[in-house]
Structure 1
């Protein structure tokens, strides 16, 4: 009874505060009476529901088959409330909140493996240079079946990643399946993993830059890559850039804005629109294109999400880049991290974002200007469709979608869709580019486009 009284007392305090705010607005007498009646009815409903919660809480606490702590129950209830809203709202306990803060800084304790999910097992896409995984000889295509002797099957990719990360200096045992070999164990000692979110190299007379995530170091890495490629290739010989955003799960909004700004001289980059119209925010480009207007191709696929889609949408709407690849993931919502003193934080969806032309890409994605599917050289098959934002349970609907499209979105999705893309916080490099054994078909087509543009410009200049 003491606990139920405490819950009720908290409810009274919350409701009293809410009522005080409501009455600050000047209304007519009839309207005020109606407001009071509505408010009283609402308060009764809240009391009744809080009483229901208190009853369930006490019953579980007393009669569940195994002991559970009050903290476990309350945190689970909070997380259930948030996760029922949409796929991206959630509760972060103190430990998870700390991990998230570390990840956005671009370094953490881990093994140094870029991974994806395949048939329920963790697949090594590529070990990161000079990391425990790289030094232990892990190879692209290796499958991780067990972590410390416990099967991976049944875990989400995020759960598996969290188990592989941990305190620096601690050891974890991975059971590896490799083609042509019996399963074997590898003991890896966790170390500081620094995520280099920008990588680059030259493709003849074209600069190639891949962004693997949007953390605090992304824009600086992009700027460094552009400068070094210009010096390496030569300003007079450089014909353009490929910006590879494939399988980039997103990250920080301010970094997406900065990366877009790097290629634009003016104009809106993105706007965010929340529940209240007065809270709309618009972000504009500043003068100065780091590439001096050189031709640009942006590569995307169904693993390009959130911040990646902001960049692709802004450059597409301003006709600054040709978007090549396949339709992006379609995560057009903004999450705000709200710290909860002494109890971690909550990640709450607070707005949708819109491209400069006013498009919401929520559950729709960015359509490429030129669709190019990644071919599998081994069997000639096209790349497999993975799950998109619209397939996720409780996904927000696109406000621009026609009524029939919204109704269609309510239909059950294919339960056999591949694991989530765009929310795992790990780099999943396109397999054909990572293993070095097969041609990266999408990149080849992007290079062809830029070389074609260069030839066309040279011919125009010679005619003049």
Structure 2
């Protein structure tokens, strides 16, 4: 799955930046320290040759079985098979047996991971997974060519330029969808609830996602949208807030932090963003089995104080909000600093680290689970909004909601240690009498984004204390 939750460390060193009189400058220094160590901001966990060579004696018979099967295949398969093909297949199968996010990465795979974290590549701008042999869209990045072409979360891509890709390799499909900006590709899409497939030509573009965008709405209410957690997102949100304050005619009266369809990214940036609004306490903890994989992240590490002190905040999430997005939403919800609104999030509560195997190969391995300040794991269950608001302005919302994919739907996903009850995850299906307008009725009223509209109206008609309570002391 093309979602990544990554952490940054350099050997045994750690960096703690405390902002006092010049928070912005120190945040920039922190970002420079991260980029100096590793531009992609992913965790590199050194693996020595001795460690790599160690094999549990109990695995001997199983390894012998694997070698025997390789010999039989090479001797009897209808066509000659090279060793590297069989070894790569065995590695891929081994990791696929663990969870949907662990994978072996070679040169091209590593490059795709790096470009996704950097947020700059040529392609369509899609977050996709492989589900039962089909390429399924988790979400299009907002403002991307795919988004503008009308591709929706929950769509299945069945053909590329008329060629069937069902049953193929996800990396191959992703590589084919990427390409030189200005070139086009025809996608054949199956949309649940539609009788006929949809064919759409999409022109590739340079995906410079602008991880952070902002607008000022009437009533001095700011909207900051975070599209992904690539490098410097914390600094970018700080800048956006400063710009909103300069644009406003007076004091800011509210803020909407939009994390919808945000598939995640750097764990460090999720911590930095949360720290902008928290004065004290835990932001997130990660717990792993290996030494060094249990870490605690607290407020006042990147930014001192609450940059929007006294301003009520609403955080918007949906089923496409995953991993790093859920860290931010969970931290602000548990500290009662923001009201969470929208739909239950994706439910990816695991951290992946990169273990280098050579100059151009690495192992992306799930090494830890993360937990919100209250100790809740979002694995499977996700972040449940304080107020569930469906996206009524989308005419296909009801159909996609029925077939929506979350972490709990992925084959081989990690089980939540607290055993989330299925009934708890089915609450989203309960109809709310407040939300009965149709997409056509909303369009007549000029409402293009009902969830954002509802958040803005909530901020306009309520007091700060009733929307987002201050942190517990």
User: Same fold by TM-score, threshold 0.5 exceeded?
Assistant: yes
Change in Cα spacing, 1:210 to 1:117, as seen in structure 2 (3 Å) is farther
Determine which of 186, 195, 198 is the counterpart of 1:174.
186
Q: Which moves more between the two structures, 309-318 or 370-379?
A: 370-379
Residue pairs, 1:275-290, within 5 angstroms: 275=289, 279-286=293-300, 287-290=304-307
Superposed CA offset, 1:17-63 (max 9, x none): 759xxxxxxxxxxxxxxxxxxxxxx62x4221111111111222333
Partner of 1:147: 160
Q: Does the Cα contact within 8 Å between 2:142 and 2:227 map onto a contact in 1?
A: no
Structure 2 distance, partners of 1:14, 1:401, is: 38
Determine which of 366, 376, 388 is the counterpart of 1:349.
366
- Tell whether 2:259 aligns with 1:245: yes
Change in Cα spacing, 1:456 to 1:258, as seen in structure 2 (3 Å) is closer
Aligned residue pairs: how many?
Answer: 391
Q: Does the Cα contact within 8 Å between 1:202 and 1:233 map onto a contact in 2?
A: yes
Change in Cα spacing, 1:187 to 1:254, as seen in structure 2 (3 Å) is closer
Partner of 1:10: none
Q: Which moves more between the two structures, 137-146 or 378-387?
A: 137-146
Give the drift of 1:261.
Answer: 0.8
Structure 1 distance, partners of 2:229, 2:243, is: 20
Determine which of 201, 224, 233 is the counterpart of 1:218.
233
Change in Cα spacing, 1:66 to 1:173, as seen in structure 2 (3 Å) is farther
Give the drift of 1:299.
Answer: 0.8
Change in Cα spacing, 1:89 to 1:447, as seen in structure 2 (3 Å) is same
Please identify the structure whose Cα radius of gyration is greater. Answer: 1
Superposed CA offset, 1:252-287 (max 9, x none): 100110111111122110011111587421111112
Structure 1 distance, partners of 2:335, 2:465, is: 21
Structure 2 distance, partners of 1:448, 1:259, is: 25
Residue pairs, 1:96-135, within 5 angstroms: 96-111=109-124
Residue pairs, 1:290-439, within 5 angstroms: 290-376=307-393, 378=395, 381=398, 384-385=401-402, 386-401=404-419, 405=421, 439=448
Q: Does the Cα contact within 8 Å between 2:270 and 2:324 map onto a contact in 1?
A: yes
Give the drift of 1:288.
Answer: 2.2
Structure 2 distance, partners of 1:146, 1:262, is: 44
TM-score (norm 1): 0.71
Q: Does the Cα contact within 8 Å between 2:280 and 2:299 map onto a contact in 1?
A: yes
- Tell whether 2:464 aligns with 1:447: no
Partner of 2:286: 272
Superposed CA offset, 1:134-180 (max 9, x none): 9xx956679976424413555687754332114x479554257899x
Q: Does the Cα contact within 8 Å between 2:391 and 2:397 map onto a contact in 1?
A: no
- Superposition CA RMSD, Å: 4.2
Structure 2 distance, partners of 1:270, 1:378, is: 36
Q: Does the Cα contact within 8 Å between 2:110 and 2:360 map onto a contact in 1?
A: no
Partner of 1:422: none
Structure 1: runs of 5+ lacking an equivalent: 1-12, 20-41, 415-430, 458-464
TM-score (norm 2): 0.70
- Tell whether 2:59 aligns with 1:46: yes
Q: Does the Cα contact within 8 Å between 1:164 and 1:172 map onto a contact in 2?
A: no
Change in Cα spacing, 1:447 to 1:73, as seen in structure 2 (3 Å) is same
**Could you say which structure has the greater relative contact order, defined with CA pairs below 8 angstroms and 6 or more residues apart?**
2
Structure 1 distance, partners of 2:160, 2:91, is: 29
SS at match of 1:82: helix
Residue pairs, 1:14-33, within 5 angstroms: none
Partner of 1:227: 242
